[in-house]
Amino acid sequence: MPVFSFLNFFEAMIQFKNISKHFELKGQTVTALDQINLDIPDGCIFGLIGYSGAGKSTLIRLINLLERPSEGQIIINDKDFTALNSSELRQERTNIGMIFQHFNLLQTKTVAQNIEMPLKLLGVSKAERQKRLDELLEFIDLKHKKDAYPDELSGGQKQRVGIARALANHPKILLCDEATSALDPQTTKSVLALLKKINQEQGITIVMVTHEMDVIESVCDFVAVMEQGKVIEHGSTLEIFSKPQQNTTKNFIQTVLQQQLPVNILNNLENKNHNSIYCLKFLGSSAQETVVQSVIKQFDISLNILFANMTEINGAVIGQMFVQLLGDATLIQQSVAFLEQNGVEVTQPGVQP
Ligand SMILES: Nc1ncnc2c1ncn2[C@@H]1O[C@H](COP(=O)(O)OP(=O)(O)O)[C@@H](O)[C@H]1O
Ligand SMILES: [Mg+2]
């Protein structure tokens, strides 16, 4: 059972209430966000996924009011951010850190100066800044680069500096807009691990915008799928991965967990009858092999495993097996019923073109 299974059990840290955002562009109105209602629980890592132009960046920028909504309210920790005056807002913003795809570091400042910048702006004393800087450099493992300039750093190192700068003032919320999209897969992994550590050790709520499902899969407790300014589906990552409802969600999941049978596998079969193909989905840590073996033993049918894959989300396993069932139609029906009784979800998958 994942820790964050039911949204309602947790206090919402960030609430979007009837949020819409329109932009005027060359005399035309662009609706970037359309009536969004969404709660982000305290202490979780929350992913916002969608194709380019879906409205993800606009939504995340509303959290610290870098962008103001055209309609609706942003409630953070029970406080209506949309009703704050500018000095109250300045104060509240110090609780929110943000990191970006292209890091946004000041090129003419050193690593140390970049990290210290927000504290300097807040008027923190030199001695305190020094102390916090040392902690942060230690935390991001970049002590040896403290006097280097951004140009002298790798992408991963730049993002670590971005993270340290965002954490300088001990924020309660960290916003990440495509923070790993400019990084190679290995570096992405290490940055995601650092973000997970920040969430777990410091209890910071992290909101993460991405267009990559493997980012969601590896670190997010919850996910909301966006399309054309709307949230089309949301829930715990495990729920969304195990029972995606919308086509866009299915397409995203397809990138990490094959939902359809690859066509060349079908082409190589002796019996190409598409109706004989089933997808068996196993949730949690259910003993797949045992169930499949029992079917073969109990029913006089032939079961060929064509393709199998599995993924792990927050410690729970989702496994899929594409099989071909051949034999007497009634026995096949009975086998399917047996599998379902044993907790296996059985569907007839499409074929990937
Ligand atoms: N400042 C702006 N002016 C006009 N249109 C904008 C502005 N910012 C975003 N948009 C439009 O709003 C929509 C959502 O954009 P965005 O939030 O950047 O999407 P995403 O981050 O999901 O790619 C797009 O159609 C985009 O062109
Ligand atoms: Mg964006």
Would you tell me how many other CB atoms lie within 10 Å of the CB of residue 41? 19
- CA–centroid distance, 246 to ligand 2, in Å, is 21
CA atoms of 335 and 137, how far apart (whole Å) = 59
pLDDT given at position 108: 97
**pLDDT (0 to 100) of residue 117:** 96
Cα–Cα distance between 283 and 332 in angstroms, integer? Answer: 22
- The pLDDT of residue 5 is 44
Mean pLDDT, rounded, for 85-111: 96
- Is the distance from the beta carbon of residue 56 to the nearest atom of ligand 1 less than 6 Å? yes
pLDDT of residue 155: 96
Task: Determine the distance separating the centroid of ligand 1 and the alpha carbon of 219, expressed in angstroms.
Answer: 26
Query: What digits encode the pLDDT tens for the residues 19-50?
Result: 999 999 999 999 999 999 999 999 999 999 99
Name which residue sits closest to atom 27 of ligand 1, judged by CA: 53
Kindly give the distance from the C-alpha atom of residue 291 to the centroid of ligand 2, in angstroms, as a whole number. Answer: 44
* Model confidence, pTM: 0.89
pLDDT of residue 287: 62
Residue 125 near ligand 1, beta carbon < 6 Å: no
Mean pLDDT of 124-142: 97
| Angle at 5 (CA atoms; ends 239, 319), nearest 5 degrees | 40
Q: Cα 182–140–211 angle (5° rounding)? A: 25
Q: Is the CB of 57 under 6 A from ligand 1?
A: yes
Residue 258 has φ and ψ, to the nearest 5°, of: -50, 120
Neighbours of 120 (CB within 10 A): 12
Structure tokens at 174: 């960290």
The backbone torsions φ and ψ at residue 284, rounded to the nearest 5 degrees and listed phi first, read 65, -150
Pick from 16, 22, 26, 30 the residue to mutate for probing ligand 1's pocket: most ligand atoms within 8 Å of its CB. 30
276-308: pLDDT as tens digits: 999 998 886 556 678 888 999 999 999 999 988
**Long-range Cβ contacts of 152-160 (<8 Å, 24+ apart):** 153/111, 154/187, 155/103, 155/182, 155/183, 155/184, 155/187, 156/183, 156/187, 156/190, 156/191, 158/103, 158/105, 159/99, 159/103, 159/183, 159/187, 159/191, 160/191, 160/194
Is 54 touching ligand 1 by the criterion CB < 6 Å? yes
Structure tokens at 282: 């196993």
To 10 degrees, what angle do helices 111-121 and 126-139 make?
A: 130
Name the pLDDT band for 226 (thresholds 50, 70, 90): very high
